[in-house]
Amino acid sequence: MEENKEPNIIEKAKSLGNAVVDWATKDNFSKVSPEVFQQRKDICLACPHWVQEAYGGMGKCGICGCSVTKLYLPSSKCPHNPPKWDSVSV
């Protein structure tokens, strides 16, 4: 996926599907600690690719199209190349 091009609906659906599968199989439906979530959120809010007004003010990544919800998933990582934050073990 190109960094400067917003993902289309099919790419977003695929990304969401993969994230949900990873959340179930790798993370056992757990979420990151509040500290890790806040660290990730601070990084995203400072990123020029973050679109804060998207999803009713919840915000989204302009690279992958994911909302702030992705920040809760331990196995997720920033789509930037190189990633600005990485997956964590739970």
Q: Where are the domains of the chain?
A: 9-72
Report residue 2 as tokens.
């190109």
For residue 2, the model assigns a pLDDT of 41
For residue 5, the model assigns a pLDDT of 77
Backbone angles phi, psi at 22, to 5 degrees: -65, -40
Instruction: Determine the residue type at 73.
Output: L
For residue 71, what are the contacts with CB-CB under 8 A and spacing of at least 6?
32, 37, 40, 41, 44
Report residue 57 as tokens.
């003010």
For residue 90, the model assigns a pLDDT of 79
- Cα-to-chain-centroid distance, residue 44: 9
For residue 3, the model assigns a pLDDT of 47
Which helix (H) or strand (E) segment holds residue 50: the answer is strand 50-51
pLDDT tens string, the chain, 90 residues long: the values are 444 677 899 998 998 899 999 999 999 999 999 999 999 999 999 999 999 999 999 999 999 888 999 999 999 999 999 999 999 987
